[in-house]
A and B are shown apart, each in its own frame.
Chain A
């Protein structure tokens, strides 16, 4: 089977989900925001559904699609994930399913515009339909650039209130960063699979792996480069490693005399620096097994 055929089959998940979608009542988007989502592929070629896959959806709130592009940037890795571990049951950009279905994992991109009724309904439906809600990327976790919105933009000038999803619903896992990286998204998807479908040992590994990202979700919806000062240096924890400076997407962090110096006006509040810092969270159990976990990821990602 050619790659494209494979992609076609995979992007549509299994038949039952498609049928479910046809029963669904039409969307309630206001007329002016209604966009005809042309599915990329209209005639899915179904593969035999794999019984023990998990179901994953991508819910698009007010984000720039960069997070979704990052997911797709796993390239053939994405095919492996969709082939063996997960069915993509909802993804407006890629699959022709309009109503948010029941799913194991919802990857939510973007913050929620509270002035938009449809967005408010969708975030609620997401919470009600998903077992695990993952805030995918800085906007969903912390607001990111949408924190700076004050309305007035075309073509919805009245849209000025945007909240990270955790201010509206309970969120289980955070993937901070702008954009989040393909490898981080891959790791969370694989660990979610192991958590839901694995044996006891795999469940324990997945729990250990996901715990810090769950703790970030529990910790709140505000992030800033200032966290390096308030939560790391002020707390006497900084070791001067430089990870924070490496990961800042806008280069707001430089190292001076071995400590981060934050250009606060540049910071877009994506949360990457603090989450990457070895002194924000560090698990000896997980990182001490880096060799076997890396080998495991390599192994399961083989096509």
Chain B
């Protein structure tokens, strides 16, 4: 399972709070974990993808109350530069124990920032809980807009939920599933930087979560670090999270691993291709990994 990273435990889980589940993307793990951590002082604020100036255009936001966490529920399939607030959180917000949610690349940026704090004075030891979400790809807002308005023929203002799963991009309005397009159609709108990404399930997070692997309404959760384990176990004990064994769950870890392997081998091949070894007349493109 090398593509799934190191983890101490994996669960099928969901929030123990109906209010959270009412508008969460999947099992409401991210919102529940942060809400529990806020209430118990594990964190004193969390950087989340809040609502922005346009529908489904996320804007990084520092939530210091459960109400603010609620505003950020649900996946926005566009770029939310959550790291942009990581220093500010310790300055004007005065946070000492930061929670942050991010895609795998953003969690990588958190860890790089902790070990190489080139411009992150006094930040490294203030990251208390980094929750990673699974991520196959992300879309610049203009691309997402085109997917929804042109391909799905839906006004983005009317959308109540977007979801990627079972090979489809689905757009929901108040009337339910309004439109679905095959993921194939969306590929050309992907952020180019996603094509060199070598992480699917946020291997470097304290806890990582996504929908793949578990039935609708539930989430798959990897508990990875000591800090993640302590927080998760306490949240389960306190009833904020309901966690069950992954044994026998369908489609289960097998599917998670299959998708992780597909993503990473494809992107490794692309990184290799970028070196242009087959085309000596082309200079190589830059490879960030060492």
Q: Is the CB of B195 within 8 A of A276?
A: no
- Name B263-290 residues within 8 Å CB distance of A: 285-286, 288-290
- B149 interfacial by beta-carbon distance below 8 Å: no
- Give the interface size class of chain A: 35 or more
- Give the interface size class of chain B: 35 or more
Q: Which of B79, B119, B288 contacts A282 (CB 8 A)?
A: B288
- Name B68-85 residues within 8 Å CB distance of A: 78-85
Chain A residues near B225 (CB-CB < 8 A): 291
B208 to chain A, nearest CB (A): 14
- B33 interfacial by beta-carbon distance below 8 Å: no
Chain A residues near B78 (CB-CB < 8 A): 258
- A6 interfacial by beta-carbon distance below 8 Å: no
- B252 interfacial by beta-carbon distance below 8 Å: no
Chain A residues near B84 (CB-CB < 8 A): 242-243, 245-246, 255
Q: Is the CB of B193 within 8 A of A246?
A: no
Complex-state Cα separation, A242 to B193, whole angstroms: 13
Q: Which of A257, A276, A287, A293 contacts B119 (CB 8 A)?
A: A276
- B86 interfacial by beta-carbon distance below 8 Å: yes
Q: Is the CB of A287 within 8 A of B81?
A: no
- B230 interfacial by beta-carbon distance below 8 Å: no
| Chain B residues engaging chain A, CB cutoff 8 angstroms | 60, 78-88, 102-103, 105-106, 108-109, 111-122, 124, 138, 140-142, 191-198, 203-204, 225-226, 285-286, 288-290
A-B contact pairs, 27 of them (CB 8 A): A183-B117, A184-B116, A187-B116, A236-B192, A236-B196, A237-B193, A238-B191, A238-B192, A240-B140, A240-B191, A241-B106, A245-B81, A246-B84, A247-B87, A247-B119, A257-B141, A258-B81, A258-B140, A258-B191, A273-B119, A275-B116, A276-B113, A276-B119, A282-B288, A284-B198, A290-B114, A294-B124
| Chain A residues engaging chain B, CB cutoff 8 angstroms | 70, 175-177, 179-184, 187, 209, 211-213, 215, 231, 235-243, 245-249, 255, 257-259, 272-273, 275-284, 286-288, 290-291, 293-294
